[in-house]
Chain A
Amino acid sequence: MVLKPLFMKPRTLYSSNPFFSRQPKQISISLVRLPYTCTEEIQILVQTHLSRLLEDNRFVVTAEVGPPHGADEQLLIDRVLHVKDYCDALNLTDNVRGIPTMSSMVCSHFVRDCGIEPVMQMSARDRNRILFESELYGAYALGIRNVCFMTGDHSLLGSHPEAKMVYDLDSIQALQLASHLMSGNDLAGDTLEGTPHFYLGATFNPYADPIELQSWRVNKKHKAGARFFQTQAIYGVSRFERFMNRLDVDAIKTLAGIIPLKGPRMARFMNRKIPGIKIPETMIRRLVDAGDGLSGNEKRGVVRSEGIRIALETIEKVRAIDGVDGIHIMGVGWEESIPTLVKEAGLYPRPKKGE
Chain B
Amino acid sequence: MARLNVSTSFVLCIQGHLFSIRLFMEIILGLGRMIVMELKSKEDILEMLEGYEKIVLFGDSGCAQMCDVGGILQLEDMTDFLADHGKDVLGYVFVEGGLCDEFATKQELEKHKNMLEEADAFLVQACGVATQNLTEMVPEKISLPAVDSDFLGTMPERFHHDERCSMCGECVLDLTGGICPITRCAKGLLNGPCGGSMDGMCERDEDTECAWQLIYDRLREIDKLDNIKRIWEMKDWSKKHGPKTIVHEAKDALFQ
Contact = CB atoms under 8 A, between A and B. Distances in A.
Q: Do A and B bind each other?
A: yes
Contacts of B4: 4, 7-8
Interface string B161-180: 00000000011100100000
B189 to A, nearest CB: 4
Interface in B199-256: 199-200, 202-205, 210, 212-213, 216-217, 228-237, 248-255
Contacts of A278: 198
Contacts of B198: 207-209, 276, 278
B25 interface: no
A17 interface: yes
B187 interface: yes
Count class of interface residues, chain B: 35 or more
Contact of B195 (A20, A31, A151, A157): A151
B12 A170 contact: no
B91 interface: no
Count class of interface residues, chain A: 35 or more
Interface string A148-166: 0001111011000000010
A346 interface: no
Contact of A165 (B187, B194, B202): B187
A151 B250 contact: no
A16 B1 CA distance: 15
21 contacts: A6-B107, A7-B9, A12-B250, A14-B254, A15-B254, A31-B190, A154-B187, A157-B203, A168-B237, A170-B189, A173-B191, A187-B234, A205-B195, A208-B196, A208-B198, A213-B212, A214-B197, A220-B191, A223-B231, A224-B231, A275-B203
A213 B198 CA distance: 12
A2 B228 CA distance: 54
| Most interface-central of B104, B187, B205 (chain A CB within 10 A) | B187
| Most interface-central of A154, A165, A276, A278 (chain B CB within 10 A) | A154
Given A168-B237, A172-B231, 6 more contacts: A31-B233, A33-B233, A125-B187, A151-B196, A176-B233, A275-B196
Contacts of A14: 254-255
A15 B252 contact: yes
Interface in A168-227: 168-173, 176-177, 187, 203-205, 207-210, 212-214, 216-217, 220, 223-224
A213 B195 CA distance: 11
